[in-house]
């Protein structure tokens, strides 16, 4: 994916000739006009696209694009930038602009001077290595075969820092990352960040200075559209960067570049582990409350029908409400009955009832065995909604 930024001063026929090239047509791209719509268009895009390392920016200009490049950096912060000058001659010193200091991959293609190179209409490739030389570096004359690969045109801009001294904004009140070995006195400054800096400085040939604390004892937050704390020092360009551990917020990610995360801090709430359920509750756990209610209603209806049948026949078979209730509950507990009624319709009713009791008994026994085989603990809190619905909220209000 690449973004083409076209200078409005370029003639329309030249712009059309550029856009119909096979390399442009075969690659997903976005075309923008210099200084016209790069601001509002970038506001509509997700940060992963705007600041992505896989997005390539191509700037085709005819006039001096310094003003536009400042806007480009503020709104896009490109990592891969190729400048292509369509002017008869262009000064490569444009690469010395401060806006390019944070561009990871940078190159300029422009027409070379006839007086220097002796051949007209020869294009050359330039880049700049900020720590090696203050002047642009000439990589060579443009050759399609030689510059067909990414690494050949985008060379490493920071092969070494040549003993450069970085002034860092630090606060030695950051355990693990930056802290004093002895807080009671001016002890040595240690931490993971210091160890990383010492290793990198020895390998990449640079030195660094640190600050003991933040000037206003703040880390960095927006106040009246201005950053305070350590981040404010960096925004005002009083220091180069910081190696403290910061929480990544949308505002910080929008205004500052961050390195790859090397430390992640997690936060959690500690709650008392729920105690196992008492053993006696296993008696009613095989059925849900709705099932227990249905069984109670069914038993009462069956007892009422049995008593009604006792009243309509001449000689009562069971006799009494209590006796009838106990007679019917024998089926629930898999107990045999001492005798059967003489009436055929009464026997048919008992056959249906005992078949119902058999199904209920098997269902209850099977669930009870499963409970004893794999005991279940009380449900733990896993979500914020469960925490809000729990009794901890009531306890907090009482406290």
Nearest Cα to 83, choosing from 93, 26, 256, 132?
Answer: 93
**What are φ and ψ of residue 60, in 5° steps?**
-105, 115
- For 321-350, what is each residue's pLDDT tens digit? 888 888 888 888 888 888 888 778 888 888
Q: What is the pLDDT of residue 145?
A: 85
Cβ atoms 161, 203 nearer than 8 A? no
Specify the length of the chain in residues.
399
Average the pLDDT over each of 207-211, 232-236, 366-370 and give the range with the smallest value: 366-370
Alpha-carbon dihedral sign for residues 113, 118, 123, 125: negative
pLDDT at 135: 83
**Dihedrals phi, psi of 110, to nearest 5 degrees:** -145, 165
Domain spans in the chain, listed from the N-terminal domain onward: 2-153, 164-255, 281-373
Fold (CATH) for 2-153: Rossmann fold (3.40.50)
Q: What percent of the chain has pLDDT over 90?
A: 19
Residue 176 CA to residue 316 CA, distance in Å, equals 89
164-255 has which fold?
A: D-Maltodextrin-Binding Protein; domain 2 (3.40.190)
User: Which of 324, 362, 322 has the alpha carbon at shortest distance from 346?
Assistant: 324
pLDDT computed for residue 284 by the predictor: 81
User: Terminal CA-to-CA distance of the chain, rounded, Å?
Assistant: 58
Share of the chain above pLDDT 70, in %: 88
Report whether pLDDT(276) > 80.
Answer: no
Q: Which helix (H) or strand (E) holds 375?
A: none
Measured CA to CA, the distance from residue 44 to residue 32 in angstroms comes to 14
Q: Using one digit for the tens of pLDDT, what is the confidence trace for 122-168?
A: 888 999 988 877 788 888 888 888 888 888 889 888 887 888 899 99
Global pTM value? 0.54
* Rounded average pLDDT over 193-221: 91
The string of pLDDT tens digits covering residues 26-53 is 888 878 777 655 555 555 566 666 666 7
Ramachandran class of 44: left when φ > 0, alpha when ψ lies in -120 to 50, beta otherwise: alpha
Query: Parallel, antiparallel, or unpaired for β 179-180 and 189-190?
Result: antiparallel
Q: Which structure tokens are listed for 83?
A: 């400048």
| Nearest alpha carbon to residue 256 among 130, 74, 53, 39 | 74
What is residue 185's predicted lDDT score, i.e. its pLDDT? 44
Separation between Cα atoms, residue 222 and residue 231, nearest integer Å: 9
- Residue 184 — pLDDT band, cuts 50, 70, 90? very low
Question: What are the tens digits of pLDDT across the range 97-111?
Answer: 878 877 889 999 998
């Amino acid at each position: 994916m690449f973004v083409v930024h076209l200078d409005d001063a370029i003639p329309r026929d030249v712009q059309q000739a550029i856009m119909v090239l096979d390399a442009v047509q075969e690659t997903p791209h976005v075309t923008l006009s210099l200084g016209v719509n790069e601001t509002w268009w970038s506001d509509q895009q997700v940060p992963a696209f705007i600041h992505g390392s896989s997005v390539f920016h191509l700037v085709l200009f005819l006039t001096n694009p310094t003003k536009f490049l400042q806007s480009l950096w503020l709104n896009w912060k490109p990592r891969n930038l190729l400048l292509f000058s369509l002017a008869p001659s262009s000064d490569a010193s444009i690469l010395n602009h401060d806006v390019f200091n944070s561009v990871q991959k940078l190159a300029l293609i422009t027409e070379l001077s006839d007086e220097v190179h002796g051949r007209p209409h020869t294009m050359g490739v330039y880049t700049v290595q900020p720590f090696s030389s203050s002047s642009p570096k000439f990589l060579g004359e443009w050759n399609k075969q030689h510059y067909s690969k990414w690494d050949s045109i985008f060379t490493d801009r920071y092969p070494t820092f040549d003993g450069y001294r970085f002034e860092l904004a630090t606060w030695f009140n950051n355990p693990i990352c930056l802290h004093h070995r002895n807080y009671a006195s001016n002890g040595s400054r240690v931490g993971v960040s210091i160890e990383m800096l010492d290793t990198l400085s020895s390998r990449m040939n640079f030195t660094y200075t640190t600050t003991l604390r933040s000037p206003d004892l703040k880390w960095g937050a927006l106040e009246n559209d201005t950053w305070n704390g350590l981040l404010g020092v960096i925004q005002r360009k009083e220091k180069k960067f910081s190696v403290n551990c910061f929480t990544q917020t949308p505002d910080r990610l929008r205004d500052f570049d961050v390195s790859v995360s090397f430390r992640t801090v997690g936060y959690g709430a500690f709650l008392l582990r729920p105690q196992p359920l008492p053993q006696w509750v296993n008696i009613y756990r095989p059925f849900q409350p709705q099932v227990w209610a249905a069984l109670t209603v069914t038993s009462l209806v069956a007892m009422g029908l049995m008593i009604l049948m006792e009243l309509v026949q001449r000689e009562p078979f069971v006799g009494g409400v209590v006796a009838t209730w106990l007679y019917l509950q024998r089926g629930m507990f898999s107990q045999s009955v001492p005798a059967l009624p003489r009436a055929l319709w009464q026997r048919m009713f008992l056959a249906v009832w005992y078949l119902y009791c058999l199904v209920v008994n098997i269902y209850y026994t099977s669930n009870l065995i499963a409970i004893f085989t794999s005991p279940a603990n009380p449900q733990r809190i896993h979500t914020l909604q469960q925490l809000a619905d729990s009794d901890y909220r009531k306890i907090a209000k009482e406290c």
